[in-house]
Each structure stands twice: as structure tokens, then as C-alpha cells.
Copies of this chain bind each other. A is one copy, B any other.
């Protein structure tokens, strides 16, 4: 039984999403935004070892992955988290996990018969 392309396409699409999640600074930015829900670039840079520009780059990556959204208000750029995307990623992983679980179960059944 071949894995259907639907699953694969969706999974491959998520590669950049996982890559965006695969950095501690970005994860902590996401967590920080998850708490406060709205923060400017300067605010998000405070108390961190990196410069504002470095943080801005990370935010850009998160935004490209639709994990975060920035809205200009006056002279500041306010960012907030995009829960739908992370939810989708979670479900995508879960689907694969289930599929793998099933495959392993089939193998096990085959071997043990």
C-alpha cells in the first residue's frame, strides 16, 4: 500500500514550517507572543542577547511561515501569533504519526502470524 500523494504533498509543504520552528530563538519569540499577544519589534528584542535586526529577521521567517503576523500601527510594527498555522502543523504531524502507527501494526501482525 503506497502512501497517498495527498499526505505527502501536505507533509512536504510543512517542511519550511518545521524549519521555522526549529530554532530556539524563534520558539521563544512564539512563546512570548503567545503570552502577551501583541508586541513591537523593539519590545520583542528587549532582554535578548541579539540585536533588534537579528530579531526582526527571525520574525520575518516566522511571518513567512504564517506562524506570526505583523501589523503596522504608527511607527511600530506589532506582531501577534497565528494559532491556526500551528494547529495545522500539529494535525499534520498527528496524521503521519497515525499512519506510521498503522504501518507498524500491520508489519507486526504480518511478522507474528
Contacts and interface: CB of A to CB of B under 8 A. Distances in A.
B15 A24 contact: yes
A30 to B, nearest CB: 8
Interface size on A, as a range, is: 35 or more
Nearest to A88: B97
A97 B101 contact: no
Given A37-B103, A37-B107, A27 B12 contact: yes
A97 B103 CA distance: 28
Nearest to A30: B96
Interface in A93-111: 93-94, 96-97, 99-101, 103-104, 107
Q: How many subunits of this chain does the assembly comprise?
A: 2
Nearest to A37: B107
Given A12-B27, A15-B24, 16 more contacts: A3-B31, A7-B31, A8-B28, A8-B31, A18-B27, A19-B19, A19-B22, A22-B22, A30-B96, A34-B99, A81-B100, A83-B97, A86-B100, A87-B94, A89-B93, A90-B90
